[in-house]
Amino acid sequence: MLAKANRIVRGADFRRIVRSGRRAGGELAIVHRAEPEAAVARFGFIVSKQVGNAVIRNRVRRRLSEIVRAELGAIDTADIVVRALPAAATADFATLKAGIVPLMVRRS
């Protein structure tokens, strides 16, 4: 689990990042990156019902959170929202990591 300082929880922050941030997409997810409001990198995850039922959505969210936690040192300070696409539901952890990490470390 990510530390509290590294999480985005307010709806207004999600909206700001998705609407005004730069976007990078792949087959498994779309990553929105905006200028940071804090001194640390912050992350939020959007996993809609199109991805699957509650069990699958939570599994995808936990996997994304673990990927971010492991790669936290390689990611520049920014506010980042990861929006999972339906293909993320069937991807294993290694495939998900290979698809997400390049999108997050890409410099805007």
Buried b (16+ CB within 10 A) or exposed e, 41-74: bbbbbbbeeebbeeebbebbbebbbebbeeeeee
Q: What is the DSSP letter of 37?
A: S
pLDDT per residue as tens digits for the range 39-82: 899 999 999 999 999 999 999 999 999 999 999 888 889 999 99
Q: Confidence band (pLDDT; 50, 70, 90) for 6? A: very high
Q: Does position 105 have pLDDT exceeding 90, yes or no?
A: no
Q: Does position 90 have pLDDT exceeding 50, yes or no?
A: yes
Q: Does position 107 have pLDDT exceeding 80, yes or no?
A: no
CATH architecture of the domain with range 4-105: 2-Layer Sandwich (3.30)
